[in-house]
């Protein structure tokens, strides 16, 4: 594996790989790797000749009040973990390399960014789509792997790539959970033992909501009520609890087809998000709760 810091060098390596018949898999991240990140790299490694992972804590997607300065970082551990996961090129640009001038061009995806996390983080997705568009432009034709943990982000990036005819296939990968059900996140590092215990309430609430649907409920209001009461029982105050269509994140009047139940909650210094997706056809319900990791969080950093 080689570590690359310059845009021009990354572009050249990707162009050269394609000229010699190789396919390129891309995994954009903000680093501080856990098994969720590594699962994307392993998927890319299984399907592509050249795997590029990027680590860039993108200032554009953090609001003034957010945790840009304290965001956890550990480049040495990330480098070792990426290499073990089959990454060929680790791209770690500096902020001036990515933004040599103050940004005057941003990529904005409307509608999909308006509710859910966009409601409390109104500038967040513009920061994400702008940096991901830059990465797609630098890397060129490739398949890009994103986690379903950030369900809205995946939908937004997929739509951006389609609308702008970017030569990138966007692939969504399973949400990876800790053994106790908590969704893996770099921000879990902020949690005290007591907060960590409370964080388990998110998955407990989502599981209870899914069970309600499996038992035949198709009205979103009672499903949401179960989610809210179960998370409240764990001492959580939700930022949102929403049920949307999985494809375009529109609110649903009745549960049918593929839907996502998504939640966000502040827990101590962290803001945690989680979701489950369900495929509903008549009485048939298939619930996707994600996958449980074999590793323990912290073992890679
Ligand atoms: P981040 O470093 O948090 O920006 O995440 C980089 C990529 O890893 C994004 O595509 C995330 O959706 C994905 N990711 C983060 N946490 C998880 C998780 N627990 N399971 C699956 N993918 C994840």
* 200-209 pLDDT per residue, tens: 999 999 999 9
Distance 174 CA to ligand 1 centre (A): 10
88-104: pLDDT as tens digits: 999 999 999 999 999 99
pLDDT value of position 135:
99
Closest residue by CA, ligand 1 atom 13: 147
Residue identifier of the C-alpha nearest atom 11 of ligand 1? 147
- The reported pLDDT for the residue numbered 297 is 55
Atom of ligand 1 nearest to the CA of 30: 2
> How many angstroms is it from 185 CA to the middle of ligand 1?
7
pLDDT value at residue 199: 97
Residue of the CA atom closest to atom 19 of ligand 1: 184
Distance 153 CA to ligand 1 centre (A): 10
Distance 172 CA to ligand 1 centre (A): 10
The catalytic position among 34, 37, 45, 48 is 37
In the predicted model, residues of the chain with pLDDT beneath 70 are 296-301
Is there a catalytic annotation at residue 45? no
Give the ligand 1 atom nearest the CA of 290: 20
Q: How close is the Cα of 145 to the center of ligand 1, in Å?
A: 10
Mutate which of 150, 155, 271 for ligand 1? The one with the most ligand atoms within 8 Å of its CB, which is 150
**For 157-210, what is each residue's pLDDT tens digit?**
999 999 999 999 999 999 999 999 999 999 999 999 999 999 999 999 999 999
At residue 295, the pLDDT reads 73
Q: Model's pTM, two decimal places?
A: 0.97
Say what the pLDDT of residue 296 is: 58
Mutate to test the pocket of ligand 1, among 42, 44, 82, 147 (most ligand atoms within 8 A of CB): 147
Ligand 1 shell residues, CB under 6 Å:
29-30, 36-37, 40, 146-147, 149-150, 175-176, 183-186
SS3 for the chain is CEEECCHHHHHHHHHHHHHCCCCEEEEEECCCCCHHHHHHHHHHHHHCCEEEEEECCCHHHCCCCCCCCCCCCCHHHHHHHHHHCCCCEEECCCHHHHCCCCCCCCCCCCCCCCCCHHHHCCCHHHHHHHHHHHHHHHHCCEEEEEEHHHHHHHHHHHHHHHHCCCCEEEEEECCEECCCCCECCHHHHHCCHHHHHHHHHHHHHHHHHHHHHHCCCCCHHHHHHHHHHHHHHCCCCCCEEEEEECCCCCECCCCCEEEEEEEEEEECCEEEEEEEEEEEECCEEEEECCEECCCCCCCCC
């Amino acid at each position: 594996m080689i570590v690359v810091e310059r845009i021009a060098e990354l572009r050249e390596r990707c162009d050269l790989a394609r000229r010699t018949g190789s396919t390129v898999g891309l995994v954009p991240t903000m680093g501080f790797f856990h098994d969720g990140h590594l699962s994307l790299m392993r998927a890319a490694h299984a399907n592509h000749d050249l795997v590029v992972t990027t680590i860039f804590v993108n200032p554009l997607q953090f609001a003034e009040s957010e945790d840009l300065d304290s965001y956890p970082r550990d480049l040495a551990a990330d480098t070792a973990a990426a290499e073990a996961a089959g990454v060929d090129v680790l791209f770690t640009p500096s902020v001036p390399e990515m933004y040599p001038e103050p940004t005057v061009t941003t990529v904005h995806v409307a509608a999909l960014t308006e509710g859910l996390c966009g409601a409390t983080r109104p500038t967040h997705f513009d920061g994400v789509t702008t940096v991901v568009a830059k990465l797609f432009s630098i890397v060129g034709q490739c398949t890009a792997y994103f986690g379903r943990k950030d369900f809205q982000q995946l939908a937004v990036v997929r739509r951006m790539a389609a609308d702008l005819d970017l030569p990138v296939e966007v692939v969504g990968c399973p949400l990876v959970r800790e053994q106790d059900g908590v969704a893996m996140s770099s921000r879990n590092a902020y949690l005290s033992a007591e907060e960590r215990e409370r964080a388990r309430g998110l998955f407990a609430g989502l599981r209870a909501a899914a069970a309600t649907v499996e038992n035949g409920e198709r009205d979103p209001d009672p499903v949401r009520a179960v989610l809210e009461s179960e998370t409240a029982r764990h001492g959580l105050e939700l930022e949102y609890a929403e049920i949307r269509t999985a494809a375009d994140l529109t609110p649903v009047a009745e549960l049918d087809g593929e839907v996502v139940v998504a939640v966000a909650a502040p827990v101590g210094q962290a803001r945690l998000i989680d979701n489950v997706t369900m495929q509903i056809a008549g009485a048939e319900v298939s619930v996707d709760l994600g996958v449980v990791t074999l590793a323990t969080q912290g073992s890679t950093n």
